[in-house]
Chain A
Amino acid sequence: MSIVQLDHIVKIYQDKNKVPVQALAGVSLDIENGEFTAIAGPSGSGKTTLLNIIGGLDQPTSGRVLVADKNLTTMSRNELAEFRLRTLGFVFQAYNLIPVLTAEENAEFLLLMQGVSPEERHRRVMAEFAELGIEENLMHRRPNELSGGQQQRVAVARALVSNPRLILADEPTANLDSKTGSHLLDTMKEMNDKKGVTFVFSTHDPMVMERARRLIMLRDGEVVEDRRS
């Protein structure tokens, strides 16, 4: 069963000189539940744009986007925000933790938005930290007191703790050394195997591409290759 269905997605935006740039040129693909998929391609191929559209962070110029049976192209800003809160998890290249919150507070942020009780939030965050190998003594540290790898783990914990159906990761290993990046990817693969969470990566990191069970290659906004291992 498909969790993501993209139907002729076109995205044209204007650059700073108001010149129209076509980021996606009619992409159509389905992503099944439980997949560990990488969308790869050179810079400017449209992979981040595609990920943003799947995540409801951006709207296509034309085409239809169905995620978890919801048509994102017809949703309002409020509906998209609510959908992201309940259904999706995000892991960004730049970690994007909230600087004034501690590691624990960052991880429980989505649960707080969902109205989960403090005790339940703490229990779930601690469980997630344990699974991701985040030591307890890091709980009360702010992002600027954590290493890159630790910050990214906290970001992954934040994405996972709310039990999303789909996690979108935009170049999650780009700012990590190879050892840390490899360790993080193995952990995410383990989460995919254990919990069946669908992962979709936007990447040009060979480590990610090696681990992906499905590799979708983009070039100039079009799918040029789609292979499963």
Chain B
Amino acid sequence: MNVELGEKVVLMMSDLQNDISSAAYRIVGLFRTASPGFDKTFVYLKQAQAQELAGYGEGITSFTLRLGSAFELEEQVEAIKRALNNDGLEVLTWKDRNPLLVLAIQAYDYSLAIVVGILFVAIAFSIANSFLMVIYERINELGIMMANGVLPKNIRRMLYAEALFINLLGTGMGFVVSAVILGYLGHNGLDLSDFAEGLGQFGVGAIVYPKVAAADIIVGLVVINSVVMLSVLYPAIKASRFQVVDAIRFV
């Protein structure tokens, strides 16, 4: 707004009687958030000054409650409604107040799901391909086992067990590395100042502090383990169907 501390600004608004009301105020503080749009839209007055400007007497238009947990939003809203006993007051969640933001989050979630889905398909093919290569390098060994009486289903089980072991080892190591990185960034922040202007459009600050919910970790572990075990199905079945007489001669 190109104003400095100590300067005066005049605020004009429609009051409760739909008349134009105005008053001059001296600036005693300036704030800057991550969102330039927000910064240009809001001014803060003392409650009495705002009530006088708007002609509200001792009334207020709304108050905002910051709840302890986003996961209990609906339950807490219901509790508030019961406490107010429908006394002519409207209780709105942040979702009700910001439908566009909700749509934006949903769109982001859907596109993220598509991207992650494509990523997992690519990972699955990559794992299947790698496992196939491993199996083809061991055709002779697998043929010897089958020639000596190992049942095809036990060949499959052996390969599933190998894949599971490697998978658990990999996810364990990945978990540790991720925990270290996220722990550091969660504490110190990830500096995205180069993108500050763009991020500001979405109300995101230049320094972000990653946070991962336990549910996200569990879902991620379940999904990646499932993808891996499904990926090795085809190679394991293929290995168990090798013709023994050809496999023992394979060089």
Contact = CB atoms under 8 A, between A and B. Distances in A.
A84 B145 contact: no
A24 interface: no
Contact of A57 (B140, B141, B145, B147): B147
B158 to A, nearest CB: 11
Interface centre among B140, B148, B149, B150, by most A CB within 10 Å?
A: B149
B141 A81 contact: no
Interface in A48-107: 52, 55, 57-58, 77-78, 81-86, 88, 90, 92, 96-100
B144 A96 contact: yes
A99 B153 CA distance: 22
A77 B145 CA distance: 13
A58 B144 contact: no
B183 interface: no
A78 B151 contact: yes
A182 B154 CA distance: 37
Contact of A113 (B149, B243, B245): B149
B248 interface: yes
B146 A98 contact: no
Interface in B194-250: 243-245, 248
Contact of B248 (A57, A78, A82): A57
B186 interface: no
B55 interface: no
Contact of A82 (B145, B147, B151, B244): B151
Given A98-B141, A99-B141, A58 B245 contact: yes
Contact of A85 (B144, B148, B152, B245): B148
Nearest to A52: B245
Contacts of B244: 57-58
Contacts, number: 51
A206 to B, nearest CB: 24
Give the secondary structure class of B's interface.
Answer: helix
A83 B148 CA distance: 9
Contact of B148 (A52, A78, A100, A109): A109
A77 B149 contact: no
Contact of B149 (A58, A85, A92, A98): A85
A90 B147 contact: yes
B147 A110 contact: no
A109 B148 CA distance: 9
A110 B151 CA distance: 12
A110 B149 contact: yes
Interface string A144-163: 00000000000000100000
Interface centre among B147, B148, B151, B152, by most A CB within 10 Å?
A: B148
A96 B151 contact: no
A116 B75 CA distance: 61
A81 B144 contact: no
Nearest to A92: B248
29 contacts: A52-B245, A55-B147, A57-B244, A57-B248, A58-B243, A58-B245, A77-B152, A78-B151, A78-B152, A78-B153, A81-B146, A82-B151, A83-B149, A84-B147, A84-B148, A85-B149, A86-B149, A88-B149, A92-B144, A92-B248, A96-B140, A97-B144, A98-B144, A98-B145, A99-B141, A109-B145, A109-B148, A113-B148, A113-B149
Interface of B: 140-141, 144-153, 243-245, 248
Given A82-B151, A113-B150, A158-B148, 19 more contacts: A55-B147, A57-B147, A57-B245, A57-B248, A77-B152, A78-B152, A78-B153, A81-B146, A81-B149, A81-B151, A85-B149, A90-B147, A96-B248, A98-B145, A100-B141, A109-B145, A110-B149, A113-B148, A113-B149
